[in-house]
Amino acid sequence: MRAVVEVEEHLAVKRLREAYPRAVLGAAAQHNEVTVLVARDAIEPVCRFLRDDPDLAFDFLSDLTGVDRLHLTPSTPRFEVVVHLKSIGRNHRLRVKIPVAV
């Protein structure tokens, strides 16, 4: 049985909050999956950091998609880009969401 994820203790969340405090808009854990909400203008350096940090090593983009939140809970902005990353060697995953205004 897997332990419940404490989002603020998750290594990727802690490292991102240290390295990019203004870029991390939030973090959450649901069903033992961690999601980090990242500012749109910081997605490139954040993804490079997640890839290049030797303790994180998110080296595999497993999914890249968009979400239209029109009929979901009220949200502004309406759209999100969702990036699913995996570290092959460390066998951990991370979801990164980027709100997108149109």
Evaluate if residue 1 carries a pLDDT over 50: no
pTM for the complete prediction? 0.88
**Does residue 77 have a cis peptide bond before it, meaning omega lies within 30 degrees of 0?**
yes
* pLDDT tens per residue across span 46-99: 999 999 999 999 999 999 999 998 887 776 788 999 999 999 999 999 999 999
Give the per-residue pLDDT at 71. 80
Q: Whole-angstrom distance between the N-terminal and C-terminal Cα of the chain?
A: 42
Per-domain residue ranges of the chain:
7-100
Decide: 51 and 43 in contact? Cβ < 8 Å: no
Decide: 97 and 36 in contact? Cβ < 8 Å: yes
In 3-state terms the chain splits into helix, strand, coil percentages (rounded to 5) of 25, 40, 35
CATH number given to 7-100: 3.30.460.80
Evaluate if residue 42 carries a pLDDT over 60: yes
